Amino acid sequence: MSTTSGPSKRKGGSEMTGEERPAIKAKPRVEKNRVLVTGGAGFVGSHLCDYLVARGDHVICMDNFFTGSKDNIAHLLDRENFELIRHDVVEPILLEVDQIFHLACPASPVHYKYNPIKTIKTSFIGTMNMLGLAKRCRARFLISSTSEVYGDPLQHPQTEEYWGNVNPIGERSCYDEGKRAAECLTMDYHREHGQEVRIVRIFNTYGPRMALDDGRVVSNFVSQQALKNEPLTLFGDGKQTRSFQYVSDLIEGEAEGGAGFATLPPQPRHTRHTHHHPLQLIWVENTADDPSRRRPDITKAKTLLGWEPKIPLQEGLLKMVDDFKRRLRIEEGTS
Ligand SMILES: O=c1ccn([C@@H]2O[C@H](COP(=O)(O)OP(=O)(O)O[C@H]3OC[C@@H](O)[C@H](O)[C@H]3O)[C@@H](O)[C@H]2O)c(=O)[nH]1
């Protein structure tokens, strides 16, 4: 008796070639929804990764670790449906994905003004690369934009239709105009190629995992006043207004409600009741082009997406204080 691994015989003796063999139905290697999160190791990105991993998606987290941190996603590294790639969105990348959440870009004014040319390149080229990837994979694309596309707004509160009041050549332009160009590109891909896209304009967001040196007002106030008993630094006359949301409200809006254009909630600015020391203030010269008032009109998000914020400022700040305390203790080696 002999065995052969050569071409099999047809009835009548002629041989069947490889091309003629009936195709074996391949099992897809990935059955889960494959989701790419750029900037996935950042403050917002890492919370989004948590949410998507818990939802059962296969999450590819991509970050260049300029402002993101491995600490933010360390707890996900051994999860079977999570993988991490160190990569800068300014460089193209080939991946197979079904959905892209494009968050990569420094977001704190201190960080985005640090290297402004890199910031605008990240916004524009990074978004172009990710839209190209989405086009090739026919993936649904969502970009995290910003309330800063409104500049120093002249219309209050701001609706999605408002075009904004942006200084195109100022110190904040690298971010404001970068994101405006990224929005434009996103809509052009949608109009020209029929791509499925979403734009989320994020207003001021706070919560655990903000970098200790983030430099934005809530993290500054929490670490300065609530934890180190140092005076609060008030920029300018301190009369500027913002609307703050807790990070989990944003994540729900982005991950689930991202079916349209979402803007985020008005909440009064205050930190008074979260600490036990008397408030001390110091006034610092303000930065250029700081928007004087900002507050979203969330009517559309409420009516079209059923989205509205749930976490009151008081509750969110306490969670953030706990997180900052823990991390500051670790940093000082006193845990
Ligand atoms: O220590 C501080 C820091 C900031 N501020 C003031 O607090 C206000 C908020 O400043 P932040 O630096 O927290 O944030 P900004 O509102 O300027 O920008 C932010 O807005 C929305 C996000 O999408 C953007 O990524 C981020 O740029 C500003 O008026 C600023 O002048 C202080 O008074 N003290």
103, 204, 279, best to mutate for ligand 1 pocket (most atoms within 8 Å of CB): 204
pLDDT at position 37: 98
Evaluate if residue 35 carries a pLDDT over 90.
Answer: yes
Ligand 1 atom closest to Cα of residue 202: 23
Identify the residue whose C-alpha is closest to ligand 1 atom 3: 217
What is the reported pTM? Answer: 0.88
Q: What is the pLDDT of residues 310-329, one digit of tens each?
A: 999 999 999 999 999 999 88
Mean pLDDT of the chain: 88
pLDDT (tens digit per residue) in 236-266: 999 999 999 999 999 999 998 653 333 333 3
The ipTM, to two decimals, is 0.98
β-strand partners of 145: 201
253, containing H or E segment: helix 247-255
Ligand 1, atom 23, lies closest to the CA of 146
Query: Does any ligand 1 atom lie closer than 6 A to the CB of residue 242?
Result: yes
| Interatomic CA distance for residues 49 and 256, integer angstroms | 13
To the query of whether residue 150 is one of the catalytic residues in this protein, the response is no
**Mean pLDDT of the region 2-14:** 41
319 Cβ neighbours under 8 A, 6+ residues apart = 207, 208, 246
Ligand 1 midpoint to CA 89 (Å) = 25
Q: What is the pLDDT of residue 229?
A: 85
Nearest CA to ligand 1 atom 14: 216
**Segments making up each domain of the chain, as ranges:** 34-209+244-266+290-311
For residue 195 and ligand 1, the question of a CB distance below 6 A is answered with no
CA angle 226, 46, 136 (to 5 degrees): 150
Report the separation in Å between the CA atom of 198 and the middle of ligand 1, taken as the mean of its atom positions.
25
pLDDT average, residue stretch 31-57: 96
pLDDT > 80? residue 27:
no
> Ligand 1: which of 147, 230, 235 to mutate, most ligand atoms within 8 Å of CB?
235
Query: Residue with the nearest Cα to atom 7 of ligand 1?
Result: 217
Tell me the mean pLDDT in the region 226-234.
87
pLDDT at 38 over 60: yes
**At residue 2, does pLDDT exceed 50?**
no
**Residue 9 predicted with pLDDT over 50:** no
For 26: left if phi > 0, alpha if psi spans -120 to 50, otherwise beta; the answer is beta
Q: Whose alpha carbon is nearest atom 2 of ligand 1? A: 217
* Any atom of ligand 1 within 6 Å of the Cβ of 234: yes
Asked if residue 103 has its Cβ within 6 Å of ligand 1, the reply is no
User: Which tokens is 278 given?
Assistant: 């008397």
Separation of CA 132 and ligand 1 centre (Å): 32
pLDDT tens readout for residues 124-168: 999 999 999 999 999 999 999 999 999 999 999 999 999 999 999
Q: Is the CB of 235 under 6 A from ligand 1?
A: yes
Regarding the beta carbon of 216 and ligand 1, being less than 6 Å apart is answered yes
Judged against a pLDDT cut of 80, whether residue 335 lies above it is answered with no
Query: From the CB of 263, is ligand 1 less than 6 Å away?
Result: no
From residue 105, how far is each of 38, 61, 226, 313 by CA, in Å? 9, 14, 28, 26
| Among 51, 112, 150, 175, the one annotated catalytic | 175
Least confident of 79-93, 182-196, 217-231: 217-231
Pairing, β 245-246 against β 232-235: unpaired
CB of 264 closer than 6 angstroms to any ligand 1 atom: no
Give percent of the chain with pLDDT exceeding 70. 82
pLDDT at 30 over 70: no
CA–CA gap between residue 199 and residue 132 (Å, rounded): 16
Dihedral of alpha carbons 327, 328, 332, 335, sign: negative
* Structural class in CATH, domain 34-209+244-266+290-311: alpha beta
pLDDT digits (tens, 9 = 90+) for 67-122: 999 999 999 999 999 999 999 999 999 999 999 999 999 999 999 999 999 999 99
pLDDT of 308:
94
